[in-house]
Structure 1
Amino acid sequence: MRICVVALGKIGLPLAVQFASKGHEVTGADVDERVVALVNDGAEPFPGEHDLDVRLKEAVAQGRLSATTDTAAAVAGAEAVVLVVPLYVCADGTPDFGWMDAATREVARGLRSGTLVSYETTLPVGTTRSRWAPMLEEGSGLRAGRDFSLVFSPERVLTGRVFADLRRYPKLVGGLDEASARAGAVFYEQVLDFDVRDDLPRPNGVWDLGSAEAAELAKLAETTYRDVNIGLANQFARFADRSGIDIRAVIEACNSQPYSHIHQPGIAVGGHCIPVYPRMYLWNDPSATVVAAAREANAAMPGYAVTRLAEAYGELAGAEVLVLGAAYRGGVKETAFSGVFGVVGALRSAGAVPYVADPLYTDAELAGLGLTPHAGQQVTALVVQADHEEYATLGAEDFPGVRVLVDGRRVTDPERWGGVRRIVLGAPA
């Protein structure tokens, strides 16, 4: 097949490479000229995605993958179009469709009869039918479900392990109509591989959920569940702090039977998905009080961590504090909704002087994020914000003068911090 992937970001580019690896002719379309140039050179535009570098080079060298900034032209030559353009949510929880609208209009300009269009970006329920179908029809003069097929098929992968996740999880598809769903299923069966799994209610592969709306809700529901679960774990952790209980031991005990699957608490919930999609769900369902409460609980954790620091340290005004980790999770160079911003903001509000260090970021990159890089300044307190593996080997000797450590990820080794008051969220001090 001739396939167009719109947006060559941290999900779109691995998808394009995966499709090319199955023998298809793939054109990636992106508005960023730098990304397009790097892809055409066989060079990954961003680090950290396992096996992407090797597989990208192979796809480009074999002539199966190229990139362009001309989305409409790429669509015009494609039998299938997959959109992975990011959708953002404004501060008030309203989805910002700007980039998606622009991309959809470009797709419509190049759309030809018989093409399959698949949206993989997470959407509020009803968006595929009520927003994208009319926009594609208006821009192309074609009829969705009659002249072209339209489906929603959410990505269910984690950056850093996209290729493995594409194999592991069923591919969910929801069509605008039955014919679109069949076309979507046939497409994904030809571009993906699936591991055999015995723990699923039906065989691994492509699962038709019956409608675009059901597939949209499936993605929102599974991500919102994680946010609510973490919110509950964080509530448990705060109670455990007041009660002198180690919440990790409690959670391990609870999860020893099959009816409990409590997640781990932590200083923040970051990334493009978990902090965002519950708000998207709330836009659809503002009466979901459980979802709203969990989102509020998780958003409050960076401030809570600084409160714990102040309780152990004393007055924070003028205190120089080093925050370890700008990334939202260990080993991934990404700061989307990272807890570092909430922690630094809370420290500044308390009058402290916060510095930030991260093994994945240069000082210039940290400064570009509005953070003050640590350049060897003497600090008297530490806050671990990201669970980078490097932090497991740090100890008191690496930070002479530090009095208090708040480990927001339970990643530090207590044996290495003699003489320092070590605070772990959800554990006795």
Structure 2
Amino acid sequence: MNICVVALGKIGLPLAVQFAAKGHRVIGADVNAKVVELVNAGSEPFPGEHDLDVKLKETVSAGLLTATTDTTAAVAQSDAVVVVVPLFVDAEGTPDFGWMDSATKAIAAGLKPGTLVSYETTLPVGTTRTRWAPMLEEGSGLKAGEGFHLVFSPERVLTGRVFADLRRYPKLVGGIDEASAARGVEFYEAVLDFDARDDLPRPNGVWDLGTAEASELAKLAETTYRDVNIGLANQFARFADQQNIDILKVIEACNSQPYSHIHQPGIAVGGHCIPIYPRMYLWNDPTATVVRSAREANAAMPAYAVDLLAAAYGDLTGAAVLVLGAAYRGGVKETAFSGVFPTVEALKARGATVYVSDPMYTADELSAHGLTPHAGESVTAAVLQADHAEYRELAAADLPDVRVLVDGRRTTDPARWEGVRRVVIGG
């Protein structure tokens, strides 16, 4: 097949490489000319995705993957179009469709009869049918379901392990009609491979959920479940702090029984998915009180971690505090909705002087995010925000003036922090 992947970001580019590695001819379309230049040179535009560098070089060298800034021209050459353009929501959870609208109009201008269009960007329920279908019809002169096929098929991968996750998890597809769904199933069966699994209700592979709306809800539901679960774990942890109970021992005990799957508590929930999609769900379903309460509980955790620091340290006015980790999670160079920002804000609200360090970021990169990089200044307190592997080796000797460490991820080795008051959430 000839395939166009629209948006070559941390999900789109690995998808394009995966499709090309299966022998299909892939054109990646992106508005960023620098990204297009790097992809055409076989050079990964961002670090940290396992196997991407090697696979990208192989598929580009084989002539199976090219990139362009001209989305319309790329679509005109393609039998299938996969859309992975970002969708953002504001603080109230209202979606901003600007980038996706622009991409959809460009796709429509190049759409030819018989093409499959698959949206993988997480969407509010009903968006594929009520927003994208009319927009594609208007711009192409073709009728959805007859002139072209249209499905929603959510990405279900984590950055850093996209290729492994593509094999591990079933690919969900929902069409605006039966013919579109059948075409979507056929397409994904031709571009993906799946690991054998015995823990699924039906064989691993491509699953047709019946409608685009069911597929849209499946992505929102699975991500919102994680946010609600973490919110519950965080509430358990805060109660455990009051009762001098180690919540991790409690969670381990609970999860030894097959009906309990409590997640881990922590200082923050960040990234493009878990903080965002529950708010997108609430935009569809504003009466979902459980979802709203969990989101509020998780959003309050950075300030709670600073409360723990103040309780152990005392007045933070004038204290020099180092926040360890700008990334939203360990091993990933990404600050999207990272807990570093509310943590720094909460520390400054208490009068502290705040520095930030992260092994994945340069001082200039931290400054560009509005953070003050640590350049060796003496600090008397520290808050661990991201669970980078490097922090497992961190010791009191590395920060000799620190009196209190709040480890918001339980990453540090207690034996390395003798002489320092080490505080954990739920401990």
Q: Give the distance between the partners of 1:303 and 1:142, measured in 2 at CA.
A: 52
Q: Give the distance between the partners of 1:394 and 1:179, measured in 2 at CA.
A: 56
The equivalent of 1:328 in structure 2 is 328
Q: Give the distance between the partners of 1:391 and 1:90, measured in 2 at CA.
A: 33
1:138 aligns with 2:138: yes
The equivalent of 2:2 in structure 1 is 2
The equivalent of 2:37 in structure 1 is 37
The equivalent of 2:338 in structure 1 is 338
Alignment of 1:112-123 (within 5 A): 112-123=112-123
1:212 aligns with 2:191: no
The equivalent of 2:48 in structure 1 is 48
1:301 aligns with 2:301: yes
Q: Give the distance between the partners of 2:171 and 2:280, measured in 1 at CA.
A: 21
Aligned letter for 1:254? C
Normalising by structure 2, report the TM-score.
1.00
The equivalent of 1:161 in structure 2 is 161
Q: Give the distance between the partners of 1:252 and 1:91, measured in 2 at CA.
A: 34
The equivalent of 2:75 in structure 1 is 75
Aligned letter for 1:214? A
Aligned letter for 2:261? H
Deviations 1:81-138 (A, max 9, x none): 0000000001111000000000000000000000000000000000000000000000
Deviations 1:53-96 (A, max 9, x none): 00000000000000000000000000000000000001111000
SS state at 1:317 partner? coil
Q: Give the distance between the partners of 2:19 and 2:414, measured in 1 at CA.
A: 46
The equivalent of 2:370 in structure 1 is 370
Q: Give the distance between the partners of 2:27 and 2:347, measured in 1 at CA.
A: 46
Aligned letter for 2:398? D
Alignment of 1:233-382 (within 5 A): 233-382=233-382
SS state at 1:356 partner? strand
Q: Give the distance between the partners of 1:295 and 1:149, measured in 2 at CA.
A: 36
Q: Give the distance between the partners of 1:3 and 1:208, measured in 2 at CA.
A: 21
The equivalent of 1:195 in structure 2 is 195
SS state at 2:322 partner? strand
Q: Give the distance between the partners of 2:320 and 2:78, measured in 1 at CA.
A: 56
Aligned letter for 2:258? P
The equivalent of 1:232 in structure 2 is 232
Deviations 1:163-207 (A, max 9, x none): 000000000000000000000000000000000101000000000
Once the two structures are TM-superposed, the CA of residue 395 in structure 1 deviates from its matched residue by 1.1
Aligned letter for 2:186? V
Once the two structures are TM-superposed, the CA of residue 243 in structure 1 deviates from its matched residue by 0.4
Q: Give the distance between the partners of 1:92 and 1:414, measured in 2 at CA.
A: 40
SS state at 1:67 partner? strand
Q: Give the distance between the partners of 1:121 and 1:21, measured in 2 at CA.
A: 22
The equivalent of 1:176 in structure 2 is 176
Q: Give the distance between the partners of 1:355 and 1:172, measured in 2 at CA.
A: 43
Moved more, 396-405 or 206-215: 396-405
Specify every segment of 5 or more residues in structure 2 that has no aligned partner in the other structure, as ranges.
none
Deviations 1:346-397 (A, max 9, x none): 0111110110000000000000000000000000000000000111111111
SS state at 1:207 partner? strand
The equivalent of 2:103 in structure 1 is 103
Q: Give the distance between the partners of 2:414 and 2:23, measured in 1 at CA.
A: 51
SS state at 1:66 partner? strand
Aligned letter for 1:277? Y
Structure 1 stretches of 4+ moved >3 Å:
none
The equivalent of 1:390 in structure 2 is 390
SS state at 1:241 partner? helix
Q: Give the distance between the partners of 2:358 and 2:74, measured in 1 at CA.
A: 39
SS state at 2:382 partner? strand
Aligned letter for 1:351? G
SS state at 2:265 partner? coil
- Percent identity among equivalent residues? 78
Deviations 1:264-294 (A, max 9, x none): 0000000000000000000000000000000
Deviations 1:288-345 (A, max 9, x none): 0000000000000000000110011111111000000000000000000000001001
SS state at 2:137 partner? helix
Q: Give the distance between the partners of 2:348 and 2:368, measured in 1 at CA.
A: 18
Once the two structures are TM-superposed, the CA of residue 409 in structure 1 deviates from its matched residue by 0.1
Aligned letter for 1:216? E
The equivalent of 2:150 in structure 1 is 150
Moved more, 366-375 or 389-398: 389-398
1:405 aligns with 2:405: yes
Q: Give the distance between the partners of 2:77 and 2:395, measured in 1 at CA.
A: 58
Q: Give the distance between the partners of 2:202 and 2:388, measured in 1 at CA.
A: 37
SS state at 2:74 partner? helix
Once the two structures are TM-superposed, the CA of residue 401 in structure 1 deviates from its matched residue by 1.1
Q: Give the distance between the partners of 2:147 and 2:394, measured in 1 at CA.
A: 61
Once the two structures are TM-superposed, the CA of residue 148 in structure 1 deviates from its matched residue by 0.2
Moved more, 390-399 or 200-209: 390-399
SS state at 2:102 partner? helix
Q: Give the distance between the partners of 1:194 and 1:422, measured in 2 at CA.
A: 44
Aligned letter for 1:302? P
Q: Give the distance between the partners of 1:92 and 1:159, measured in 2 at CA.
A: 26
SS state at 2:157 partner? coil
Q: Give the distance between the partners of 1:413 and 1:198, measured in 2 at CA.
A: 36
SS state at 1:253 partner? helix
Once the two structures are TM-superposed, the CA of residue 150 in structure 1 deviates from its matched residue by 0.1
Once the two structures are TM-superposed, the CA of residue 221 in structure 1 deviates from its matched residue by 0.1
SS state at 1:118 partner? strand
Q: Give the distance between the partners of 2:65 and 2:125, measured in 1 at CA.
A: 32
